[in-house]
Amino acid sequence: MAPKFLSSTRNERSGKGVPEKEENAEGSQAKAMYSVTGMTCSACSGQVERALRQLPGIQDAVVDALSNRAQVTFYPALINEETIRETIEDVGYQATLIQDHQTNAKSTQMCRIRINGICTSCSTAVESALQALRGVLMAQVASADEEAQVHYDPKMVSYKELLEAIEDTGSVAILITTGYMSKLQLKVDGVCTDHSMRLIENSLRSLPGVQDIVIDPTLNKFSVSYKPDVTGPRNFIQVIESTGSGRYKAMIFPEGGREVHEKEIERNYRSFLWSLVFAIPVFLTSMVFMYVPGLKHGLDSNVVNMLSVGEILRWALSTPVQFVIGRRFYTGSYKALRRGSANMDVLIALGTNAAYFYSVYSVLRAAASKDFKSTDFFETSSMLISFILLGKYLEISAKGKTSDAIAKLMDLAPETAILLTLDCEGNVITEEEIDSRLIQKNDVIKILPGAKVASDGFVIWGQSHVNESMITGEARPVAKRKGDTVIGGTVNEDGVLHVEATQVGSESALSQIVQLVESAQMAKAPVQKFADRISKYFVPLVIILSFSTWLSWFLAGKFHRYPKSWIPSSMDSFELALQFGISVMVIACPCALGLATPTAVMVGTGVGASQGVLIKGGQALESAHKVNCIVFDKTGTLTVGKPVVVNTRLLKNMALQEFYELVAATEVNSEHPLAKAIVEYAKKFREDEENPTWPEAKDFVSITGNGVKAIVRNKEIIVGNKSLMLDQNIAIPFEAEDMLAETEAMAQTGILISIEGELAGVLAISDPLKPGARDVISILKSMKVKSIIVTGDNWGTANSIAKEVGIETVIAEAKPEQKAEKVKDLQASGNIVAMVGDGINDSPALAAADVGMAIGAGTDIAIEAADIVLMKSNLEDVITAIDLSRKTFSRIRLNYIWALGYNLLGIPIAAGALFPSIGLRLPPWIAGAAMAASSVSVVCCSLLLKNYRRPKKLDGLEMQGVTVE
């Protein structure tokens, strides 16, 4: 089965556990992601966040200036996606709704539940109970059919919670089926009338499995909600194109992610080049040609009164830069000021306008006077805009590299696939090459040697070896034959395979990984709040500081507070003060400060994903670098997690086959690894049957952390540990006690079996220690991280394992809630605690810990409750996660030094602190270059994280062949 990497259900703000369900009048929530272009710093993102949060129906909004994205959680009953997009554009930025990955399908799950004996009056109560659950989109209960149909978001609520909600009303609920309802966005070309729209809509609605259609006539977009088990994108495209007799062409609505980013890079590059066309001549005429005798004479020639040729040329050349190329700064500052806030655009507009319009005043005065010699700053405004555009281009180009991890993950999926049509006997009738995004559930795909697997599914024909290292981390190719599962994006090594697609689009393992990494990069680390708080007040303070600088120097010049010789011969005290004020305004821009944290988090989480460590956001990354105590589960974490029965001792006179039939019939209902080991061992007594059928188990009960019991063949069977037997008042003979002690001494688990209230046998189950576990614990000690074992297994086995790996503190026979309590006790003692586990019984502790780390091969519930997923299931990745987080936060601190260093050093120099003593001043266009350099420096500093290498000690483990199969 393909691994699932679910997004965290933990509260991103508090980081504490799974949030409680909220009952609200607004109904269910929805999420939308937007690509937002034009943001430059934290002040910009904060401005958009504030505007969105003021809207009715917005539950939360997270805006990231680095990735140019906004993620909005809202109530569809109160507000729609288009209104949100328009609000972002009203603030002054271009916004585009981003569809989900690959198929642009936004999936919700649908399940059918049997409700025994429900009456008409009860159905309303059940519907209300279901609708009150957070994540339920729609619930319909039919009392006549005794059935409920529920559409819900599986990331917010599970089907088990739906069953519990129904049973809380007093009804008995039984799950019938579960399935997904997907949403697909289609763009249709050739549609020009409302009649055409309705015609296409009616054709789509006639298809089986289509649930709902929403039309956006401005974009010719059709949003189709459907059941993927029944229909899919190829059917929709075929129906649309056949409806108009070839007039209409349909395609999956184009994404707005990487394409938008590439267009923004191109737009900034083009703007920079055009600004250079005008700015370089301005710079040459004012700074270079004035020292070339022949050219100087020509430029100084007067045209009207004291107005010279050079001044006219500079005015003419700088005007397009100021008002055409620099128009974006006017637009951005106008929209910011209209909403009562200020951003980088305001600073640039103020600075360049001050220089430009003072120059215009000076030139016009010279044209009207016969004795006034003008001094212009046209080169200041044009060069400043050019350098800012250069910095913006370099910054956007560098920022794009921080999300390379996502691009590489998405590139794992092949662009095309070979679709097979089979007859009733399984013979191939036709082959057709299609876009891989058009694969539907139950399609049969042909995978050639050397090709990528196009979809998650299972092999129905052929044999081969598949390289799954890019998804699971397994270094060696895995043998695949009929019935084996394959994962989309992996590489087929040798033979030809026919694969039936099971998970497509956003359901696939690859899509879930991409979504998790993207969500992680959107989530802000708590340390970023520092930069956000500064950025919020920084721009108004910069304006005040700039004005104060100008006023101070102007008054100092007026009242002769410094010698006249300090002022360059070409300007007066007002012009000198103006230059100082503009320089302060430009160099103090907080762009670099806003990039310090998100660039490092984005690169860090991307590097983690490439190393097989999925980190769910900045909160997890920040907490992980502080971890000083790790709590390990035993089974499947420190051990391989594939236990096997190694010994059986019967205490009653009965056939071994009969004994194991009773035990297997009881344990087959349990998901516990030990139960699976017992059932697997019992199959040896039924070698003639490929899938043996066990006797029916009635009244099955799972006693969490202890064992199970059931009625099989009218006999009460209890399987579990010593505590369970004592709780059930079952006597344990000395012979059984001796065997338990013997198994525990050998680090094995002893399981007791009671039949009809009498102890009937003892099983010894061995789960070997993971290779390298002892070395991992030793390395953690060297990193000053304390290790503890907390397990539901018995004390003897737990102590034996602890001694073998070198762990001193052991908590055994702990139930799931006791594991969580132990985590909380450690936190109360001042420890920053990480929990490493893989099972359902670990999920409470994973949620309670400061950092929950789930083994990638573990259960979906454990993975969902965790902050970090170790995809390869390698124990050494615990060290990688902690070391990577430490390196990332070291980089964040260095980024803050870069960002604040530029400002702390640059602002005094720009304000003229060194001018009185050594005559050093910072022209505004050089200040602009310094500001651009600060942002680029921070981004490049973060990009160095891409060179991250795991600790060399771990490489030593690999050299010894320490891997997990």
Tokens 């420096």 locate to: 937
Apex CA 71: angle with CA 69 and CA 72, to 5°? 140
Chain centre distance of CA 835:
21
- Write the CB contacts of 763 (distance below 8 Å, at least 6 apart in sequence): 645, 647, 648, 649, 678, 750, 751, 753
Task: Select from 807, 876, 878, 864 the least CA-distant residue to 627.
Answer: 878
- The sign one gets for the Cα dihedral 638, 644, 645, 646 is negative
Dig out the tokens for 92 from the structure: 């002054």
- Write the CB contacts of 242 (distance below 8 Å, at least 6 apart in sequence): none
Residue 521 φ then ψ, to 5°: -75, -20
CA–CA distance, 788 with 805 (Å, rounded to integer): 11
Dig out the tokens for 283 from the structure: 């710079």
Helix (H, G, I), strand (E, B) or coil at 3: coil
- Catalytic position from the list 633, 767, 850, 883: 633
Question: What is the 8-class DSSP label of residue 639?
Answer: B
Determine whether 877 is an active site residue: no
Q: What is the largest CA-CA distance in the chain?
A: 125
- Write the CB contacts of 355 (distance below 8 Å, at least 6 apart in sequence): 377, 378, 380, 381, 384, 578, 582, 924
Residue 434 buriedness (CB in 10 A; 0-12 / 13-18 / 19+)? middle
Q: Within a 10 A sphere around the Cβ of 534, how many other Cβ atoms?
A: 18
CA–CA distance, 395 with 404 (Å, rounded to integer): 15
Distance set, CA 115 to CA 157, 279, 404, 699 (Å): 19, 76, 49, 19
Q: Within a 10 A sphere around the Cβ of 395, how many other Cβ atoms?
A: 25
In the chain, count of helices (H) and strands (E)? 33, 35
Helix (H, G, I), strand (E, B) or coil at 379: helix
CA–CA distance, 443 with 647 (Å, rounded to integer): 46
Apex CA 513: angle with CA 509 and CA 518, to 5°? 150
Helix (H, G, I), strand (E, B) or coil at 457: strand
Residue 538: left if φ>0, alpha if ψ -120 to 50, beta else—which one?
A: alpha
Q: What is the amino acid identity at position 921?
A: R
Q: DSSP states of 816-840 as a string?
A: HHHHHHHHHHHHHTT--EEEEE-SG
Helix (H) or strand (E) holding 542: helix 528-558
Dig out the tokens for 534 from the structure: 């500064």
CA–CA distance, 837 with 631 (Å, rounded to integer): 9
Check: CB of residue 663 under 8 Å from CB of residue 680. no
Residue 155 φ then ψ, to 5°: -80, -15
- The sign one gets for the Cα dihedral 685, 691, 692, 695 is positive
Q: Can you list the alpha helix ranges (DSSP code H) found in 403-463?
A: 404-411
Q: Give the active site residues.
A: 633
